[in-house]
Amino acid sequence: MKRQLFDFSDSLSTMAKERLESSAIGEMIKLVVSNKAISFTAGEPSSELLPVEQLKEAFKGVFDDPAKLCYYWSDLGHIELREWICDWMRKDGLSAKWVKPENIMMTCGSQEGISFAAEAFIDPGSYVLVENPTYMETLLSFRKQGATCIGVPIDENGIIIDELKKIIEQKKVRMLYTIPNFQNPTGYCTSRERREKVIELLSEHGIPILEDDPYHYLSYDKETPPTYMSLAGDNACVIYLGSFSKIVAPGLRCGWMVLPDQIVSKIISLRVNANLSLPILVQDGLFNMLQKIDLEAHINDLRDVYRKRRDDLCAAFEEYIVPLGVRINKPEGGFFIWGNLDGIPDMFEFAKYAVKEFKVGVIPGSVFFVPGTSDQSAIRFSFAKVDKKNAVEGAKRLVAAINAYPKNN
C-alpha cells in the first residue's frame, strides 16, 4: 500500500501559513556556494581574520567547573561577561549612566534581541517604523509577529526628519528600529545632529528606539558618532543591541541587549519561555578570551584590512562597472556598498542570472525595502570577504553579466 504523506495544512498557525517568509539573502548565498561563484553577498567577517588561536586557548578551561554544564542560574547570562560589557561600553562612551550589568542580557546574536523586541512590542496590526531600506531579517521578524512596517526614507546622513515627523503625526507607532552606524544595506551613517532630532521627536510622542549597532567599531575614515543610547541619557527610551559577530566571530552567536529597568523583567520572561537560558560555555570561553586579547589592537587590525578591501572594491567598480551607468557609494565603515543599476526591470532575476551564468553573486536591493516601496534598481555588495584579486575579477564578471543579460526579461 502506498504511504500517504501527512497533511499539516489544517494544523498550522496563521503565522506559519501567512506571515512566515524565507530569506532572499539566504537563497542567494546558497546559489553562490552551489555555483562556486565570487561572492559580494554575505555580510559576515572573513574567516582568516577570526582570532582562532586565542579562542582555542580561551575555551580550554571552560570545562574546569562542572557546574557550568548545568542550567546557568542567571537568566541574563554570564555575570562576568555582562560586567565586562558594561565597563567596556561605559569606557567607550556607548552607554548611558543608568546602565548596569543587570540591564544587560546576553543573546544568541543580535538577531535574537530583535526577535525579543518584536514579541515585546508588536501585536498583529501594530505599526513599527524602520529605515527604508533596512536589514531584511528584521523585516521578516517584525512581519512574522504581525507588524505593519512603515518605511522612513533615509539619505547618507540617516533618517530624514521631516518624513519621520509626517509619519508619527499620522500613525500610532510602537517603536523605531534603526541601524545608525554603517547601515545594512546602504552603508549610511546617521549624523549626530539627526540622532539628536530623532530622539527629541520620538520622545515627544512616547516612541522607544531599538538601536542595532553591530558595525560600531568598524569605522574606517572618522570617529563613529555617539550612540542613540548615550545621547538619550537619563531618558531611557533606547534598547541597544550589540554583537561580537563582526569583531570576534559570528559562529559564537553571542550578542547582548541593553534594557531599561522598566522592561528587563518582560524580556527575561521571553528568554525563559524561549529557551530557559543560553549555553554558558560559549559565553565563558568568550569571556576568557576577552581577558587576554588586546581587543583594541585586534579591532584596529580588522579596520585596516576591511578599509583596504572597501577601497579595492570601490576602485574596481569605478574602473569596470561605473562606466556602464552603475552608481555606487563609498561607505565610511561597515561591510556594504550600495549601488543602483538602471535598465534592469527585475534585479532579483538578474542576480540569479549573474551567479548561475557568470559566477558572481550580488544581493538585489529590493529585498531590503518595505513592501510596495522597493527601488528595483538597487543592489548591495559586501566587500568583507573580497581581496583585491577577486574584487577585480568579480567586477569583470559583473560587467559581462550586465552586458549579456536580456533587457526584456
For 241, the domain range is 53-292
Cα separation, 194 vs 158, in Å, equals 7
Domain closes at, from 268, 292, 316: 292
Spatial CA neighbour of 374 closest among 108, 39, 149: 149
Task: Say whether both 255 and 349 belong to one domain.
Answer: no
Say what the pLDDT of residue 303 is: 97
pLDDT given at position 113: 97
Together in a domain, 44 and 60: no
Q: Answer yes or no: is 409 within a domain.
A: no
Tell me which H or E stretch contains 256: strand 255-258
Q: How far apart are CA 262 and CA 246, in angstroms?
A: 30
Q: How many domains does the chain have?
A: 2
Q: Please choose, from the candidates 224, 172, 241, 227, the residue with its C-alpha nearest in 3D space to the C-alpha of residue 198.
A: 227
Structure-derived torsion over alpha carbons of residues 265, 270, 271, 276, reported in degrees to the nearest 10: 110
Q: How far apart are CA 155 and CA 168, in angstroms?
A: 19
Looking at the fold, whether 176 and 76 belong to one and the same domain comes out as yes
Q: How far apart are CA 388 and CA 316, in angstroms?
A: 8
| Residue 61, pLDDT score | 85
Residue 4 in any domain: the answer is: no
Assigned domain for 167 exists: yes
User: Are 278 and 307 contained in the same domain?
Assistant: no
Residues 204 and 223 in one domain: yes
Which pLDDT score is estimated for 345?
82
Q: Which residues are CB-neighbours of 375 under 8 A, at least 6 positions away?
A: 133, 340, 365, 366, 369
Intervals of the chain under pLDDT 70: 1-2, 71-72, 408-409
- CATH number of the domain residue 99 falls in: 3.40.640.10
In-domain check, residue 6: no
Q: Are residues 350 and 316 in the same domain?
A: yes
User: Which region holds residue 92: left if phi is over 0, alpha if psi is between -120 and 50, else beta?
Assistant: alpha
Of 235, 269, 292, which residue is a domain's last?
A: 292
* Single residue among 292, 316, 341 that ends a domain in this structure: 292
Read off the pLDDT of residues 261-294 as tens digits, 9 standing for 90 and up: 999 999 999 999 988 888 889 999 999 999 999 9
Tell whether 7 is covered by a domain: no
What CATH number did the domain enclosing 40 receive?
A: 3.90.1150.10
Return the C-alpha cell found at 342: 538602471
Q: Provide the percentage of residues in the chain whose pLDDT is more than 90.
A: 82
Is 2 inside any structural domain?
A: no
- pLDDT given for residue 331 in this prediction: 97
One domain, residues 207 and 63? yes
Same domain, 353 and 228: no
Q: How far apart are CA 104 and CA 240, in angstroms?
A: 9
CA 369, 373, 377 angle in degrees (round to 5)?
75
**Strand 363-364 and strand 360-361: pairing?**
unpaired
Could you give the residue ranges of the DSSP H alpha helices within 205-346?
A: 228-232, 261-275, 280-292, 295-320
In a domain, 8, yes or no: no
Condensed to tens digits (0 to 9), the pLDDT of residues 365-408 reads 999 999 888 788 999 999 999 999 999 999 999 999 999 998 75
Same domain, 324 and 360: yes
Tell me the three cell numbers of residue 399: 560587467
Look at residue 2 in the predicted model and tell me its pLDDT: 67
CB 360 within 8 Å of CB 405: no
For 318-363, the DSSP string reads HHHTGGGT-EE---SBSSEEEEE-TT-S-HHHHHHHHHHHH-EE-E
Whether residue 307 sits in one domain with residue 388: yes
HSE-CB at 300 with a 13 A cutoff on CA atoms is: 5
Cell of 22: 524565507
Whole-angstrom Cα distance, residue 23 to residue 16?
15
Is residue 3 included in any domain, yes or no?
A: no
User: Do 176 and 145 fall into the same domain?
Assistant: yes
Are residues 286 and 373 located together in one domain of the fold?
no
